[in-house]
Structures are given as C-alpha cells and as structure tokens.
Amino acid sequence: MALGAMTTKSKIRQEEFSQLWLKFQAFLKAQDLKVTEQRRLLLHFLVYWNQHIDADDLYLRLKNKDQSISRGTVYRTLDLLVQCGLVRKSSFGQDHANYEIVHQNEHHDHLICIECKKVIEFYRADLEKLQDSICHHYKFIPMHHSHQIFGICVDCRSVESTQSDLSKKISRLKA
C-alpha cells in the first residue's frame, strides 16, 4: 500500500513538473532566453524537493548532479522562476532568501523558529477571512501578503527557559 502511495505521489510530482516546465519554457522563449538543461534540472529539483531551500544549498545539491552548473546560473534561474510566478522567494529573518515551488491555488503562512531556523507552514481559513475583513474595512485591495511569525518551536523550548531568557532572545530579533 505504501508503494502505491509513493507511485501516486511520484506521478503527481511528474505531472506538476511537466506543467511547470512547459510554462517556464514559454516564459523563457517570450523573454528571448535560452532553454537549458541546467534550468530544467533546477526546476525539477525544486518540484521534487518540495521544501524551502536557499540558493547556495540548492547550488551545492545541483553541483553534485551536474558539474557544469554555476552559482550564477542558479541565482539567475531562481530570479526568472520568481518572475514567472513558479517559485516564491521568502526571507525568514535571515541574511539570505529561501525559495519554494508555488503550488497552484495554495497559500500558506510561516512560523519561524529563531533558534533552529525551522520553518513550519500553516494555513488557517479563519485567519485568511480576518485579513479579508480588515482589507474590506479599510477599502484596501490586497495583492499579496506574507504572514510570518517568529518565535521558538517546541523542540527548542525547554522547561528551564525563563522569561528572562525569552526576553533576551526577543531583543536579538529587534537588533
């Protein structure tokens, strides 16, 4: 049964990749840019990775698969994928950006642990409705939003943590 589930998941990923690759090829051609194997490999990796990843980590992982790929190609391709709307670029309070595939009709927000840097994705319909209500109240037309909550995850929070320890950690965020 687990094997069947893996096969189904793999088929879904392959279908998603095929659709995204067609869209990206059309975008590249419209921009008069080259469709390359390195760009295909990068998109393929992101679809199957299906998690947040920073450009340098992505570069190192792709370099193991294709020695000819350059760091510049990774950064330029990520920027193109963001422009094309296939990849979302996020900053989680770090010095560098993280990237993830944009799944059609899917939205989520993030809880970010300031200790271990773990990112927890969540979706709450009631939160989305509240945001819509606030926009309506102010006659504001939302185009995009990013909800990030910084804190300490359950794995990093210890019973011994005092309010003083937490205050010090919070002050690091404000600095």
Point out which residues pair with 43 in neighbouring strands: none
Residue 101: strand, helix, or coil: strand
Q: Is 42 in contact with 77 (CB distance < 8 Å)?
A: yes
Strand order in the sheet with 87-91: 53-54, 97-101, 87-91
Longest alpha-carbon distance in the chain: 59
Q: Is 59 in contact with 71 (CB distance < 8 Å)?
A: yes
Q: Which CATH architecture has domain 109-174?
A: 2-Layer Sandwich (3.30)
Residues of the chain with CATH 3.30.1490.190: 109-174
Q: How far apart are CA 63 and CA 56, in angstroms?
A: 10
The token duo for 137 is 């109240």
Q: pLDDT at position 1, please?
A: 45
Q: Is 17 in contact with 44 (CB distance < 8 Å)?
A: yes
Q: How far apart are CA 38 and CA 44, in angstroms?
A: 10
Amino acid code (one letter) for 120: I
Low-confidence ranges of the chain (pLDDT < 70): 1-6, 92-95, 104-106, 144, 159-175
Q: pLDDT at position 105, please?
A: 59
Q: How far apart are CA 117 and CA 140, in angstroms?
A: 33
Domain 2-101 has CATH 3.40.50.2000: no
Q: pLDDT at position 15, please?
A: 87
Residues of the chain with CATH 1.10.10.10: 2-101
Residue 85: strand, helix, or coil: coil
